[in-house]
Structure 1
């Protein structure tokens, strides 16, 4: 099937759960072959941002955070929700400062990808922040349970190659995308 083939038609939609965390919808969709998928569940989220922050001595600024979904501590890139009207770089620098206390003079947006195109409507943006340094104390939201980690890039990559280290798939993708954009993976 070609990329310009018709997609599904949305016949109807109803909201099942809507609060500050989630907007779960049940859709009735019709595929091009006439098949009706009802219900088809879609979650609406705002866009997210992940920050690949590197210090001048080539360490990654990471957070170790409790994730209730899997009931475990997970190492991740700093990041979070992009506020309405906020651009990804501004959001990334805000989240980096709030979660870790780090800032960076230079930051740039390098990618926007779908974290789960079958179910989610949003994008996750990757921002690179170079020469990151402590600029303030972290200012976390209530319930954010995390600590800051500074890890050499080579160690983080070695752990990920062995199936460890960063445990969130979209964070792994963001880190590899950033390191590729920086010419750090030798693949260009």
Structure 2
């Protein structure tokens, strides 16, 4: 284990100014000093936090995933339901709302698994990952551009990761976490 934090190792932010802002993203320039004493400007990207959920079926053997295209990287991949946290919502409320909007299901139970920062050195963008066990069909999805959702066997997840068919960081963290805590045989392959 590493030792506790030391103020001598802290990066100091003297100031930060936005250079571009809209409702989804802020790009800032921070005036910082590093532990060696060097002082310089460093960019920072801030985005709204997100919530995503690994929804398992009643048997716990299948997970609800969307096959979808992402235009910035021009890739197709499997992803969990999820989205940005709206003002006035907490992460769990967002997770539940996004499941219903994107899939037409309501989860029976929801538990927080982990919160992580996908690009911690340059980007502020907390990702809150949840696990839902069981889901009830409540209607058709209300969001039409979120991909094609399917129940995918957990046993296939390691193969899909190896084939580059699961690339989204939140989906990877969630599914690897689910496989690890479940003791699923596919986690050791």
Alignment size in residue pairs: 183
- Residue in 1 that maps onto 2:159: 158
Contact 1:126 1:178 in 2 (8 A): no
User: RMSD over aligned Cα, in angstroms?
Assistant: 2.1
Greater CA deviation, 50-59 or 82-91? 82-91
Quote how far apart the aligned CAs of 1:2 are: 4.7
Moved over 6 A (4+): none
Contact 1:23 1:45 in 2 (8 A): yes
Gaps of 5+ in 2: none
Does residue 24 (structure 1) correspond to residue 18 (structure 2)? The answer is: no
- Give runs of aligned pairs for residues 34-53 of structure 1, distance below 5 A: 34-38=37-41, 40-53=42-55
Quote how far apart the aligned CAs of 1:145 are: 4.5
Quote how far apart the aligned CAs of 1:184 are: 2.9
TM-score (structure 2 length as normaliser): 0.87
Instruction: Report Cα offsets for 1:56-114 as digits up to 9, x if no partner.
Output: 24221011222111112221111111223422222111111111112111111111111
Gaps of 5+ in 1: none
Compared with structure 1, are the counterparts of its residues 90 and 181 closer, same or farther at alpha carbon in structure 2 (3 Å cutoff)? farther
- Residue in 2 that maps onto 1:4: 5
Contact 1:102 1:136 in 2 (8 A): yes
TM-score (structure 1 length as normaliser): 0.87
Instruction: Report Cα offsets for 1:115-167 as digits up to 9, x if no partner.
Output: 111012231111111112322211117xx34211221111223322x333312
Contact 2:115 2:128 in 1 (8 A): yes
- Residue in 1 that maps onto 2:79: 76
Higher helix fraction (1 or 2): 2
